[in-house]
Amino acid sequence: MPLTATISPGASISLVANELLHAAERTSVANARQLDDLAALLTDADRVFVMGAGRSGLALRMTAMRLMHLGLDVHVVGDTTTPAIAAGDVLLTASGSGTTESIVRAATRASEIGARVGVITTAESSPLSDLADVRVRVPAAQKLDRSAEASAQYAGGLFEQIVVVIGDGLFHALWQRQGSSADELWPRHANLE
């Protein structure tokens, strides 16, 4: 299929970077209290479980690694070594639509058990948002939004990028509050690579 218009890779990178910058700024301003609440939720948790589907799940795996570097007890839902969630734990989720069935089921179960639920989503209201103890709303397109109004990127790309930025931002804030040096965190870094 011939392309009707072309854009260089460099111009595409600039487009993605600009969208990410603007969405990150809007997210941090509109959700300042919620981000503080999410940071507190994570630090007060006995254990942190992360869950997302597809690329959102991959983004949360990055957050799980960074939280582990801080010394938190972190598990990725679906890994064979993930234990049962319990009261006192936190389930951190990411779902643009807030309707991903497996994530809604897991959040429902976590809530029933007495665990708290953190949600990163684009949806003002959704089944997942209804289960949230803390909800961070990202101003980005859902993966089925092909209008290019919220983002020129394909299938929720901007949302997934913001999930990474939120995770890294939470890590950085918690690291600074902890007062640990990079050298103190380093021994927790993977050494079997």
Neighbours of 76 (CB within 10 A): 18
Cα–Cα distances in Å, from 144 out to 28, 51, 75, 90, 180? 24, 20, 29, 28, 42
Coil, helix or strand for 70? coil
Catalytic residue, chosen from 25, 124, 149, 160, is 160
- pLDDT per residue as tens digits for the range 88-143: 999 999 999 999 999 999 999 999 999 999 999 999 899 999 999 999 999 987 66
pLDDT at 2: 55
21: nearest Cα among 117, 172, 158: 158
Neighbours of 54 (CB within 10 A): 15
pLDDT at 78: 96
pLDDT confidence band for 4 (50 / 70 / 90): low
Per the annotation, the verdict on 124 as an active-site residue is no
Q: Is 28 exposed, middle or buried (0-12, 13-18, 19+ CB in 10 A)?
A: middle
